[in-house]
């Protein structure tokens, strides 16, 4: 350790620059993954964090909830299934609210999500407030709305529908839009206001609870009609159009970052080892054991990786206190532990070339000039 510290003190500038580089790369890895999760959650949060265990789509919607329409015959097939214990309708509508919270003339595009039963389509948990208990009350997505806020939507026919935000739910946006969860009757009022000529309002999805198991329920509904596409909650979230592609793109970027950190560290120490070959040869010639030199190298690798990871995690923690646009970066200890372990192992493995170089040094070269 003494030998490692002395060498780092003599070359403090180059070791400091490597420490900064590793810190920034670790910071980028953690923030990129946090942004990936936040972005994907803003796509599928309303589906992933709602209370219904199974959602039934129209097959031709291709698992896009906004494009799904459940007709009365399809609804009858769902409710008639012996595998269905409970069923409720879910309606989804995109609207534009002029809101006093914004500057004059600005508008807020949002999704209105109507549900019939709290256990079949409402947000699973609230971060503040309460569930709607009266007409015109709504649960809004946290960060987009405030408790007590009132939003009025006026349709082309002049009908106005007003929502009072009485509760807030975390991570419950749909398609990266602020979302209001309301009683299904209020959703119908909003849908009729948006389209005054409509003869009827049809649900977008059916939320169902299984009488036995989810697998049996899904199998029975798929056998009942090719027009029904039932999905378990987790599958409905993962199959949301576009969300999987976003997550896959971020995973490729993270994989490249995870490759670069040990590569940079390994190349740095390999270059340093080549540069100090003469000194290492002399140390071996005067009796320094190869194990001492290897331990000194590993101490330096541990210091650079450990310090870089610590600084990167600190920057990530500071960034998690800031909201980026409509995305909130959440500090995740599990993600920190995973990347710390992975980068530590890869960093040590990347130093193997330097260790092999140290072990291959022949002290006799000090007398023959081979170390020059």
Q: What pLDDT is recorded for position 85? A: 96
Residue 160, SS3? Answer: strand
Quickly state the pLDDT bin for 256 (edges 50, 70, 90): confident
Q: Is residue 1 scored above 70 in pLDDT?
A: no
**Among the residues of 286-351, which ranges form H helices?**
290-319, 333-350
Q: What is the DSSP string of 161-189?
A: EEEEEEEEESS--BTTB-EEEEEHHHHHH
Query: Distance between CA atoms of 13 and 329, rounded to whole angstroms?
Result: 33
- pLDDT tens, residue by residue, 48-61: 999 999 999 999 99
Quickly state the pLDDT bin for 159 (edges 50, 70, 90): confident
Looking at residues 279-298, what average pLDDT do you find?
67
Residue reference for tokens 């609870």:
209
Using CA atoms, how far residue 219 sits from 147, 215, 229, in Å, is 41, 6, 10
Query: Distance between CA atoms of 3 and 19, rounded to whole angstroms?
Result: 19
DSSP state of 330: P
Q: Is residue 105 scored above 80 in pLDDT?
A: no
DSSP state of 61: G
Residues 193 and 274 placed together within one structural domain of the fold: no
Tokens of 32: 């990129």
Residues 233 and 287 placed together within one structural domain of the fold: no
Tokens of 347: 């960093």
DSSP state of 124: S
Query: Distance between CA atoms of 227 and 331, rounded to whole angstroms?
Result: 42
Q: What are phi and psi of 315, to 5 degrees?
A: -65, -40
- pLDDT tens, residue by residue, 8-37: 767 778 888 888 888 888 898 898 888 888
Tokens of 144: 């987009």
Residues 63 and 79 placed together within one structural domain of the fold: yes
Task: Specify which residues 88 forms β-bridges with.
Answer: 207
Residues 38 and 185 placed together within one structural domain of the fold: no
Using CA atoms, how far residue 119 sits from 131, 205, 306, 322, in Å, is 11, 15, 47, 33
Given 181, 205, 238, which residue is the final one in a domain?
238
- pLDDT tens, residue by residue, 164-179: 999 999 999 998 899 9
The model carries a pTM of 0.77
- Contact (Cβ atoms closer than 8 angstroms) between residue 304 and residue 22: yes
Residues 207 and 328 placed together within one structural domain of the fold: no
Q: Is residue 161 scored above 50 in pLDDT?
A: yes
Residues 146 and 189 placed together within one structural domain of the fold: yes
Q: What are phi and psi of 276, to 5 degrees?
A: -105, 25
Q: Work out how many domains the chain is built from and give that number.
A: 2
Residues 114 and 181 placed together within one structural domain of the fold: yes
Phi-psi region at 143: left, alpha or beta (left = phi > 0; alpha = psi -120 to 50):
left
Given 238, 253, 284, which residue is the final one in a domain?
238
Q: Is residue 180 scored above 60 in pLDDT?
A: yes
Q: What pLDDT is recorded for position 288? A: 62
- Burial (Cβ within 10 Å: 0-12, 13-18, ≥19) of residue 206: buried
Q: Is residue 372 scored above 50 in pLDDT?
A: no
Given 193, 217, 238, which residue is the final one in a domain?
238
Q: Specify the range with the lowest mean pLDDT, choosing from 146-160, 179-193, 313-327.
A: 313-327
Residues 35 and 53 placed together within one structural domain of the fold: no
Q: Specify the range with the lowest mean pLDDT, choosing from 164-168, 224-228, 235-239, 267-271.
A: 267-271
Residues 320 and 216 placed together within one structural domain of the fold: no
Q: Is residue 342 scored above 90 in pLDDT?
A: no
Residues 203 and 252 placed together within one structural domain of the fold: no
CA torsion, points 254, 260, 262, 267, in degrees to nearest 10? 180
Q: What pLDDT is recorded for position 361? A: 65
Query: Distance between CA atoms of 333 and 207, rounded to whole angstroms?
Result: 34
Q: Is residue 218 scored above 50 in pLDDT?
A: yes
**Burial track 217-231 (b if 16+ CB lie within 10 A, e otherwise):** bbebbeebeeebbbb
Residues 207 and 261 placed together within one structural domain of the fold: no
Residues 287 and 345 placed together within one structural domain of the fold: yes
- pLDDT tens, residue by residue, 231-250: 999 999 988 987 777 777 77
Q: Is residue 103 scored above 50 in pLDDT?
A: no
Domain hosting residue 170, numbered range: 45-238
């Amino acid at each position: 350790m003494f030998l490692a510290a002395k060498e780092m003190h003599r070359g403090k500038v180059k070791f400091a620059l490597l420490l900064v580089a590793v810190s920034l790369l670790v910071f980028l890895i953690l923030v990129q993954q946090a942004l990936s999760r936040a972005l994907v959650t803003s796509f599928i949060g309303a589906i992933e964090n709602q209370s219904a265990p199974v959602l039934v789509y129209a097959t031709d919607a291709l698992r896009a909830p906004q494009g799904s329409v459940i007709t009365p015959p399809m609804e009858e097939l769902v409710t008639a299934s012996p595998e269905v214990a409970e069923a409720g309708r879910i309606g989804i509508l995109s609207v534009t609210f002029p809101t006093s919270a914004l500057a004059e003339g600005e508008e807020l595009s949002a999704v209105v999500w109507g549900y019939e039963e709290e256990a079949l389509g409402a947000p699973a948990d609230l971060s503040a407030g309460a569930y709607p208990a009266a007409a015109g009350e709504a649960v809004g997505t946290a960060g987009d709305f405030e408790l007590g806020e009132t939003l009025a939507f006026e349709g082309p026919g002049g009908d106005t529908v007003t929502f009072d935000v009485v509760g807030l739910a975390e991570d419950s946006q749909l398609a990266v839009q602020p979302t209001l969860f309301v009683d299904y009757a209020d959703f119908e009022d909003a849908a009729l206001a948006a389209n005054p000529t409509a003869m009827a309002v049809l649900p977008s999805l059916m939320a169902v609870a299984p009488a036995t198991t989810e697998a049996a329920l899904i199998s029975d509904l798929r056998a009942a009609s090719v027009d029904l596409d039932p999905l378990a909650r987790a599958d409905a979230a993962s199959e949301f159009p576009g969300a999987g592609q976003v997550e896959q793109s971020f995973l490729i970027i993270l994989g490249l970052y995870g490759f670069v950190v040990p590569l940079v560290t390994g190349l740095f120490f390999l270059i340093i080892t080549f540069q100090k070959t003469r000194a290492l040869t002399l140390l071996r010639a005067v009796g320094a054991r190869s194990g001492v030199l290897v331990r000194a190298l590993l101490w330096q690798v541990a210091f650079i990786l450990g310090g870089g990871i610590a600084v990167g995690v600190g920057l990530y923690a500071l960034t998690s206190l800031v909201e980026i646009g409509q995305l909130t970066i959440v500090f995740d200890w599990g993600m920190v532990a995973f990347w710390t372990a992975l980068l530590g192992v890869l960093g040590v493995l990347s130093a193997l070339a330097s260790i092999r170089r140290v072990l291959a040094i022949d002290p006799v070269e000090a007398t023959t000039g081979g170390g020059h």
